């Protein structure tokens, strides 16, 4: 690697995915595209999103309620148009995935089904520093079952002086809790550090001690390769507005492993849209779930958010997660190289990368800790056309997304770091 514009431009010229950049709208700064490194918070808008949305708006205008059955994409079965594509993205079978609701709603639905505590087996294991929504969901579910979060929630913390969790420590903690552990619930990629957990080994260990394994994939779906079916994950949930570019507050995805597909006795909060669709309009009492993840649906599909998601999923189908992962590894590695190059050049400021250096333990995101005045650096970047984000207490998150970020974007970011020290 080289810290030169020529090197970055040549890397872009060799990039077989470079044309996908033109599929997205970029906010503008002084007549040019911003340096957008915030796909881990909100992905850019696909240029096709409006046409997907307008098709459903036209059917609503022209057909009214008949759009449920006579629309170009009948709303009655709309989830069937997007769920198979979402399933391929997370390494699942079609029956195992449904798109519905929002992320935390879906997390609660999954916890109702898969957190079934007893007097002996009642603990939920989470990573320390999980996203607050996960904490709140776990706390409320524990209290719902009469347990105190102080005693029933097990938090995994890094070793002293470290920022991320070691896989062997996670496995040892699961082994230690043993018969008291009901559920392991981790973020697939930690939102703060960017660490991608070894979900396969963690799931295996959870099952060995008799616990369930579920994951919040908000920062993993569309970012890192996933094989949820093969890994025997019990359930997973994710949002679609981050790496999946499906609009602010977009719809959510749910995975329920095939082994539960025909288990009508599994506890769940039931709703009309999860009822056997062949009998749904008979309006009978007695819930009969649809097979697989679709049986967890509650109400009519959110057509407009799902239309935006469909537009993005088509782009992912064209690009392919394998190719995206390969570019992501190279793009993130180049970002890391330039940050380290910057550190070598400076005597005033140092940037520490707390995201794991091992490529298999991270996705796009690098979490940067600036030794002094990190907020000042973030403000400088913002004022110079960089969209990144600040997370308390001291992290700037940079996420070069392979669908639309370029190697030259990263080089421009490096140049701005240099300018900051000269200002």
pLDDT tens digits, 52-69 = 999 999 999 999 999 999
Q: How far is 266 from 257, CA to CA, in rounded Å?
A: 13
Q: Under a CB-based contact definition with an 8 Å cutoff, are residues 52 and 60 in contact?
A: no
| Residue 134 pLDDT exceeds 80 | yes
Fold type of domain 5-45+321-422: 3.90.1150
Q: Given this model, what pLDDT does residue 161 score?
A: 94
Q: Given this model, what pLDDT does residue 274 score?
A: 94
Q: How many residues does the chain have?
A: 423
Q: How far is 300 from 302, CA to CA, in rounded Å?
A: 6
Query: Among 267-276, 369-378, 384-393, 398-407, where is mean pLDDT lowest?
Result: 369-378
Q: How far is 152 from 154, CA to CA, in rounded Å?
A: 6
Q: How far is 328 from 302, CA to CA, in rounded Å?
A: 31
Fold type of domain 51-318: 3.40.640
Kindly give, in sequence order, each residue whose CB lies less than 8 Å from that of residue 275, ignoring residues fewer than 6 positions away.
Answer: 287, 288, 289, 290
Q: Under a CB-based contact definition with an 8 Å cutoff, are residues 255 and 97 in contact?
A: yes
3-state secondary structure 190-247: CCCCCEECCHHHHHHHHHHCCCEEEEECCCCCCCCCCCCCCCCCCEEEEECCCCCCCC
Mean pLDDT across 201-212: 98
pLDDT band at 27 (very low <50, low <70, confident <90, very high): very high
Closest by CA position to 145, among listed 126, 120, 118, 108: 118
Q: How far is 33 from 29, CA to CA, in rounded Å?
A: 6
Mean pLDDT across 63-80: 96
Closest by CA position to 228, among listed 193, 191, 188: 188
| Residue 373 pLDDT exceeds 90 | no
Mean pLDDT across 245-261: 96
pLDDT band at 112 (very low <50, low <70, confident <90, very high): very high
| Residue 31 pLDDT exceeds 90 | yes
Q: Given this model, what pLDDT does residue 265 score?
A: 78
Q: Given this model, what pLDDT does residue 32 score?
A: 96
| Residue 390 pLDDT exceeds 80 | yes
Q: Given this model, what pLDDT does residue 87 score?
A: 98
Locate CATH 3.90.1150.10 in the chain. Answer: 5-45+321-422
Mean pLDDT across 153-175: 97
Locate CATH 3.40.640.10 in the chain. Answer: 51-318
């Amino acid at each position: 690697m080289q810290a030169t514009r020529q090197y970055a431009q040549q890397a872009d010229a060799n990039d077989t995915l470079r044309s996908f950049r033109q599929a997205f709208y970029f906010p503008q700064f002084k007549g040019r595209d911003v340096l957008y490194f915030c796909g881990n918070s909100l992905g850019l808008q696909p240029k096709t999103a409006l046409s997907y949305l307008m098709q459903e708006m036209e059917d609503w205008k022209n057909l009214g309620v008949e759009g449920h059955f006579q629309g170009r994409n009948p709303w009655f079965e709309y989830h069937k148009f997007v769920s198979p594509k979402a399933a391929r993205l997370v390494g699942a079978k079609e029956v195992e995935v449904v798109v519905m609701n929002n992320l935390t709603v879906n997390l609660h639905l999954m916890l109702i089904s898969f957190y079934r505590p007893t007097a002996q087996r009642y603990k939920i294991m989470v990573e320390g520093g999980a996203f607050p929504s996960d904490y709140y969901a776990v706390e409320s579910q524990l209290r719902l079952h009469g347990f105190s979060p102080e005693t029933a929630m097990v938090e995994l913390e890094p070793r002293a002086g470290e920022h991320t969790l070691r896989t062997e420590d996670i496995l040892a903690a699961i082994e230690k809790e043993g018969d008291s552990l009901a559920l392991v619930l981790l973020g697939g990629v930690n939102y703060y550090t960017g660490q991608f957990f070894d979900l396969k080994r963690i799931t295996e260990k959870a099952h060995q001690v008799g616990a369930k394994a579920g994951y919040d994939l908000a920062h993993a779906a569309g970012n890192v390769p996933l094989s949820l079916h093969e890994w025997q994950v019990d359930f997973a949930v994710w949002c679609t507005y981050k790496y999946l570019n499906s609009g602010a507050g977009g719809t959510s995805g749910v995975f329920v492993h095939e082994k539960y597909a025909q288990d009508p006795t599994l506890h769940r909060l039931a709703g009309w849209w999860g009822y056997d669709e062949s009998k749904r309009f008979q309006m009978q009492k007695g819930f009969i779930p649809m097979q697989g993840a679709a049986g967890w649906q509650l109400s009519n599909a959110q057509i407009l958010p799902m239309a935006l998601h469909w537009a993005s999923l088509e782009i992912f189908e064209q690009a392919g997660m394998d190719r995206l992962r390969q570019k992501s590894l190279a793009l993130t590695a180049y970002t890391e190289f330039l940050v380290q190059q910057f550190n070598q050049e400076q005597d005033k400021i140092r940037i520490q990368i707390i995201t794991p250096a091992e490529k298999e333990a991270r996705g796009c995101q690098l979490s940067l800790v600036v030794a002094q005045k990190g907020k000042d650096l973030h403000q400088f970047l913002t004022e110079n056309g960089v969209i990144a984000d600040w997370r308390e207490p001291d992290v700037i998150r940079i996420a070069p997304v392979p669908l639309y970020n370029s190697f030259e974007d990263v080089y421009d970011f490096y140049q701005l770091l240099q300018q900051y020290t000269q200002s």
